[in-house]
Each structure stands twice: as structure tokens, then as C-alpha cells.
């Protein structure tokens, strides 16, 4: 089975502890934290106080996705606040190779995210140095968007390329994940599924997470 990483971006922040405890009781493998700065993406999510609060109650590993400019300024602090994996965007890192090794030196896993318009081939120089690639299957910034179908082609291309550069590479997708497409995405080569709206807007998030797990 694949890994399921519910994103708290779409959680009820008035009842955040309750929402995290639901994830704790579920079959979810990771908990996904989308950090947005209102500069790189047209939205602001949350900062270190929320990350610290999540760390204090989460029983799942914290998968941190930095949709921010100059992510290298905050890598150490996110690590200190519980991140087991830090994903940065290809598009925001002027010196991507250096940023990757900064993360590795902190002792955590490293991922690189690609926006829908960014070509897979651009990652070839760093594929052997990273643990995961996050393919954005919607435009970053807001939850609840429609899945971009071209993503299937990018996933298949990445899976093929990774066989030569990094056979153990994890492929993660984020955006528009549902029970209708998760099986096809698994077949295309996806290992980790981020789901926010589909989980937290459902009547029974625990059952929804279980269904996603079983369908992948």
C-alpha cells in the first residue's frame, strides 16, 4: 500500500487539536504541513506557533512542504520543530543543490516540489541526492482545486527517469486526490498521496483515509 499524508491546510483550525487527534487515530502515515508565505504563492497559511502545536500532539511524522521564498533561512527551525521531511520548491531555490545538502546536513529527509508547468527533466542533476519529488497536481496556494490531468504524464516520466538516477525515489502528489483517481495514480508510479479537502471535508475522515489507503 502507498503512504497517505493528510494536509491540515483544510482542517478546522477552531478545533485543530481534535483534527490532529483524528489523524492520530487513522491509518494515515504522515501529517502534511503546507507552509505558505503570500509571496511565492497567493495565500498565507500558518507559521511556527502552529507547527509547534502540531508537534506537541501529532503521533505521525511531520512532512513539511515549504511554499516560500528563501526557504534556506528557515530549514533549521523547521527541523527543530519536528519536521522529519522538508520539501522545497525547485522554482524558489537559486542554489538548489546547496539547499538540498543544507537539509541533509540537518539529518532530515529532503524533497523537491515541482509546479504543474515545471518540466521533470530539470531535476536530473539532483535526483540522486534527494529522497522524494513532490509533483503538484494543482497550482499551489489553495486547497480544493481540480486535478490537472497532465500530471499523469509527468509522473510516468519521473518514474522512468528515477530508475536510472535513484531507484528508491519516492514520488508524492498533492492536489485533487480522490478515490476516483488514486488507483490510476498508484499505477503511474506514485508512492505518497497528500489529501486535504477530500479528507477533512468528508463526514468521516478516518474512514476516508482508510478508503484512500485501501484503494492505493
What CATH number is attached to the domain comprising 151? 3.20.20.70
* Pair 11, 33: CB distance under 8 Å: no
Return d(Cα 60, Cα 142) in angstroms, integer: 23
Q: What is the pLDDT of residue 3?
A: 98
Interval 9-68: pLDDT, tens: 999 999 999 999 999 999 999 999 999 999 999 899 999 999 999 999 999 999 999 999
Domain count for the chain, please give it: 1
Q: What is the pLDDT of residue 145?
A: 72
> How many C-beta atoms surround the C-beta of residue 203 within 10 A?
6
* pLDDT less than 70: residues of the chain: 141-144
Q: What is the pLDDT of residue 146?
A: 82
Q: What is the pLDDT of residue 153?
A: 96
Q: What is the pLDDT of residue 143?
A: 63
Containing H/E element for 114? Answer: strand 109-114
Phi, psi of 85 (to 5 degrees): -140, 135
Residues annotated as part of the active site: 34, 174
Residues of the domain holding 71: 3-215
Going by C-alpha positions, the residue among 52, 64, 84, 60 that lies closest to residue 9 is 64
**Model's pTM, two decimal places?**
0.96
Amino acid at each position: 500500500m502507498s503512504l497517505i499524508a493528510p494536509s491540515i491546510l483544510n482542517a478546522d483550525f477552531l478545533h485543530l487539536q481534535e483534527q490532529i487527534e483524528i489523524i492520530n487515530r487513522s491509518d494515515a502515515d504522515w501529517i502534511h504541513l503546507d507552509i505558505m508565505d503570500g509571496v511565492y504563492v497567493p495565500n498565507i497559511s500558518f507559521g511556527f506557533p502552529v507547527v509547534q502545536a502540531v508537534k506537541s500532539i501529532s503521533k505521525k511524522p511531520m512532512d513539511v512542504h515549504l511554499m516560500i521564498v528563501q526557504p534556506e533561512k528557515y530549514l533549521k527551525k523547521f527541523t527543530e520543530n519536528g519536521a522529519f521531511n522538508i520539501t522545497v520548491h525547485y522554482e524558489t531555490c537559486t542554489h538548489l543543490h546547496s539547499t538540498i545538502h543544507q537539509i541533509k546536513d540537518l539529518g532530515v529527509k529532503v524533497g523537491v516540489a515541482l509546479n504543474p508547468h515545471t518540466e521533470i527533466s530539470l531535476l536530473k542533476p539532483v535526483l540522486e541526492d534527494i529522497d522524494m519529488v513532490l509533483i503538484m497536481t494543482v497550482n499551489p496556494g489553495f486547497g480544493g482545486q481540480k486535478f490537472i490531468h497532465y500530471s499523469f504524464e509527468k509522473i510516468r516520466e519521473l518514474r522512468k527517469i528515477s530508475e536510472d538516477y535513484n531507484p528508491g525515489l519516492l514520488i508524492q502528489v498533492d492536489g485533487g486526490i480522490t478515490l476516483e483517481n488514486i488507483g490510476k495514480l498508484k499505477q503511474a508510479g506514485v508512492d505518497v498521496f497528500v489529501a486535504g479537502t477530500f479528507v477533512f471535508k468528508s463526514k468521516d475522515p478516518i474512514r476516508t483515509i482508510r478508503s484512500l489507503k485501501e484503494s492505493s
